[in-house]
Amino acid sequence: MAVRLLSRLVLPEIRGTVYSSSAAAPATLSDFDVQHKTPVIRKQQSIPKAQYGGRHAVSMLPGGGIGPECMSYVRDIFNYIGAPVDFEVVDIDPNVDNDDDVQYAITTIKRNGVGIKGNIETKSEAAYVTSRNVALRNELDMYAYVLNCKSYPGVSTRHKDIDIVIIRQNTEGEYAMLEHESVRGVIESMKVVTASNSERVARFAFEYAKRNGRKKVTTVHKANIMKISDGLFLETSRRLAKEYPDIEHNDMIIDNCCMQLVARPHQFDVMLMTNLYGSIVSNVVCGILGGAGLLSGRNYGDNYAVFEPGTRNTGTAIAGKNIANPIAMINASVDMLEHLGHRYHADLLRNAVNRTINVDRILTSDCGGTASSTDVVNAIKENANLIANKLHLG
């Protein structure tokens, strides 16, 4: 992202040359710093960053269902490993019809720049109350969603060694929330695709591929049916692909893509798609890798970043039973530490999680284990302790 944002600083005609050297971004800047130092296209009120004495303030939105318990595990672990992060917890009451709480949550993320969230319930089905998750993404203009799908050897699944990155347009498309009844009995739902947002997310995808040493970007679409809207998205990504000759680009129709994913998932590397397809494909991939409880997703805008579990399910049915899988939320917190630039703590926690799943095989029932949520959390803490000791003593 560093290069992507920096690229906005330079004139379009010299863009090509600047892109060729990723050294344009100083290596020491964390993504968090880059977001706070770079002027952006959209006019945003510039707010001083919330980093004091090496500690970051982060908004925490526990949401509904298993969110609150998972968040308490995250806080527990952060406290244990001494991660320099202070959480500002914002609870959103799902039963209230007005949007005060959501607006406040959005304000806190604007202040802090970074948030971690569970899934926020929208119980009201009244037409004027918008989905709170969507409202959050739209208000903060978080146009890109990244889901890193990597197999855990410790979780037995049909396919092994999958490593796919899904990048999804997050703010428009079918989620534009524009529906109306033109004549009685006929409802139109609008899908909005804009060139500017398509370009932003495509640029994000290629920059991501480049920075992370990925080889291929696959654009997923349905341009054979929606020739103009999905066509625009496809055209944009094809155009941008020409700026990145080192990265292979192909495209695939969404229905075929889903079939290929479950049959031969190893052909995919980075996948780029519009909003609804992203929602479907990320759930498919999560299912292939072992369920909703493992992966974490990242929402990026130009100024803000919000981290959350990869599949946006509330898990109300298993809340409070100590059987929910805490890994997804913990992985989200690892992503957050990485974004903030706390490499030491991020690596420590990531290694501890990997070790717990792959070596100790302490898993909750959704991944075929027998452990409770707290067992997993304690195992992760124990492993973190072990790894840290090795680092310092050995």
Partner 1 sequence: MSLLSRNIFRALVQGSQHVSKGVHTTAVNNDKNQTKEGRIKCTLIPGDGVGPELVYSVQEVFKAANIPVQFESFFFSEVNPTLSAPLEDVVNSITRNKICIKGILATPDFSHTGELQTLNMKLRNALDLYANVVHVKSLPNVKCRHNDVDCIIIREQTEGEYSALEHESVPGVVECLKIITAAKSERIAKFAFDYAVKMGRKKVTAVHKANIMKLGDGLFLRSCEEIAKLYPRIQFEKMIVDNCTMQMVSNPNQFDVMVTPNLYGNIVDNLASGLVGGAGVVAGASYSAECAVFEQGARHIFSGAVGKNIANPTAMLLCSANLLAHVNLHSYSKMIKNAINKVLKDGKVRTKDLGGQSTTLDFTHAVIHSLV
Number of residues located near partner 1, criterion CB under 8 A:
35
Contact between 327 and 376 under an 8 Å Cβ cutoff? The reply is yes
- In whole angstroms, the minimum distance from the beta carbon of 126 to partner 1 comes to 24
How far is Cα 243 from Cα 312, in angstroms, rounded to an integer? 33
Q: Which stretch binds partner 1 (CB under 8 A): 73-81, 254-262, 270-278, 298-306?
A: 73-81
359 binding partner 1? (CB under 8 A): yes
What's the number of CA atoms in the CB half-sphere (13 Å) around residue 260? 15
Q: Which stretch binds partner 1 (CB under 8 A): 42-50, 135-143, 209-217, 221-229?
A: 42-50
- Applying the rule CB under 8 A, the residues between 363 and 382 that interact with partner 1 are 382
Backbone angles phi, psi at 79, to 5 degrees: -60, -40
358 binding partner 1? (CB under 8 A): no
Binding partner 1 by CB under 8 A: which of 269, 361, 368, 375?
361
392 binding partner 1? (CB under 8 A): yes
Q: Which residues contact 336 (CB under 8 A, 6 or more apart)?
A: 58, 85, 114, 116, 305, 307
- Applying the rule CB under 8 A, the residues between 86 and 105 that interact with partner 1 are 86, 88, 104
Q: Tell me whether strands 186-189 and 179-183 are parallel, antiparallel or unpaired.
A: antiparallel
Q: Which stretch binds partner 1 (CB under 8 A): 82-90, 177-185, 222-230, 315-323?
A: 82-90
390 binding partner 1? (CB under 8 A): yes
235 binding partner 1? (CB under 8 A): no
- Applying the rule CB under 8 A, the residues between 47 and 66 that interact with partner 1 are 47-55, 57
CA atoms 130, 132, 134, 140: torsion sign: positive
Binding partner 1 by CB under 8 A: which of 8, 75, 111, 312?
111
Q: Tell me whether strands 51-52 and 55-61 are parallel, antiparallel or unpaired.
A: antiparallel
Binding partner 1 by CB under 8 A: which of 29, 68, 76, 110?
110
263 binding partner 1? (CB under 8 A): no
What is the DSSP-derived secondary structure letter of residue 162? Answer: -
Binding partner 1 by CB under 8 A: which of 34, 257, 305, 384?
384
Binding partner 1 by CB under 8 A: which of 26, 82, 153, 320?
82
How would DSSP label each residue in 316-367? Answer: GGGTTTT-S--HHHHHHHHHHHHHHT-HHHHHHHHHHHHIIIIIS----GGG
How far is Cα 318 from Cα 10, in angstroms, rounded to an integer? 51
Cβ-based burial of 339 (10 A; exposed 0-12, middle 13-18, buried ≥19): buried
Contacting positions for partner 1 (CB under 8 A): 47-55, 57, 79-84, 86, 88, 104, 107, 110-112, 359-361, 382, 384-386, 388-390, 392-393
